[in-house]
Amino acid sequence: AQSVAQPEDQVNVAEGNPLTVKCTYSVSGNPYLFWYVQYPNRGLQFLLKYITGDNLVKGSYGFEAEFNKSQTSFHLKKPSALVSDSALYFCAVRDMNNNAGNMLTFGGGTRLMVKP
């Protein structure tokens, strides 16, 4: 079975400061890893993904994430936070060995609050 843990319910950061939202995962095979963002009353929007290759992946809105196989982590980062980044962030994993298509398993989410 595959699982995702987001240990922080909420992350608070001041505008202009760097931010990190943590994610760890568990899969039996090689992981495909994703970050999604959810704004109030909206669906999930794709931010970035790691499939293979460079451990540092860059995505939308200046976000990036670093895949660390030894620590089974995929933390989301941004060098300089904006107030408009305030939203709910979800990490998700797909097990390459899973036959359920692109079925993703999501973490519980982390609320990011960026204060001016």
Closer residue to other proteins (CB): 77 or 111 = 111
Count of alpha carbons within 13 Å of 96, Cβ hemisphere only? 8
Which region among 15-23, 61-69, 76-84, 98-106 touches other proteins (by CB under 8 A)?
98-106
The region of 11-19, 61-69, 73-81, 107-115 touching other proteins under the rule CB under 8 A is 107-115
**What is the SS3 assignment for 85?**
helix
- 40, with CB counted inside 10 A (0-12, 13-18, 19+), is exposed
The footprint of other proteins on residues 6-25 (CB under 8 A) is 6
Check binding of 99 to other proteins (CB under 8 A). yes
